């Protein structure tokens, strides 16, 4: 049995602690089979992250990035009319409208390679996964992880918000495979 404990500050300075436990059938400990090494350049420094890769069956589907069932897809992947400029632009991810402060979790394990704030994406995280794909989480109210941290699938990353250029509280979620943006709805099982 393994445990992952996530802490975050709440109003009044108290810490909210959430523990997730998982294991596998049988009594033996799950052992890493091999290690995957990622190299990334962060702030001009070369950073090396070594990730253990556990034997697991790939389903092709990611863990849903919101820890709630109270959401709706407010904007899909592809061409759209920009809500601010009215111009036709390409939307490289999906928008998942939810309550402000909703827990945002890692869709897949990997290493946090970027945590930054921009005028468009607001508070944003980018995670590099063991298969070389990347996921991006934007418009966060809070980010609870830093670049260089290794995260597990389902681990708390932050809280959904409305930072940056947003019309309301939501998570903007992007997925990149081989450096190219792809529709995350397919990998999340949201496509019909």
d(CA 15, CA 141): 16
Level-2 CATH architecture, domain 2-188: Distorted Sandwich (2.70)
| Reported confidence tier of residue 19, pLDDT bands at 50, 70, 90 | very low
User: What is the per-residue pLDDT across 148-188, written as a single tens digit (0 to 9) for each?
Assistant: 999 999 999 999 999 999 999 999 999 999 999 999 999 99
Question: Domain residues of the chain, as ranges?
Answer: 2-188
d(CA 87, CA 76): 16
Q: Which pTM value belongs to this model? A: 0.71
């Amino acid at each position: 049995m393994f445990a992952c404990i996530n802490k975050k500050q709440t109003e009044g300075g108290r810490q909210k602690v959430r523990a997730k436990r998982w294991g596998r059938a049988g009594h033996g400990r799950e052992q890493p089979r091999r290690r995957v090494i990622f190299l990334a350049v962060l702030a001009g420094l070369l950073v090396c992250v070594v990730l253990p890769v556990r034997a697991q069956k790939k389903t092709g589907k990611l863990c849903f990035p919101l820890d709630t069932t109270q959401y709706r897809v407010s904007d899909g992947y592809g061409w759209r009319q920009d809500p601010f400029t009215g111009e036709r632009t390409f939307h490289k991810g999906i928008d998942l409208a939810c309550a402000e402060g909703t827990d945002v979790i890692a869709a897949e394990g990997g290493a946090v390679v970027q945590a930054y704030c921009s005028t468009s994406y607001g508070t944003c995280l980018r995670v590099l996964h063991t298969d070389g794909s990347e996921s991006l989480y934007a418009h966060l109210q809070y980010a609870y992880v830093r670049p260089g941290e290794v995260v597990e699938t389902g681990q708390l990353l932050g809280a959904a918000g409305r930072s940056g250029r947003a019309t309301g509280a939501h998570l903007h979620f992007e997925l990149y495979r081989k450096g190219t943006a792809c529709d995350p709805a397919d990998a999340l099982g949201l496509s019909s």
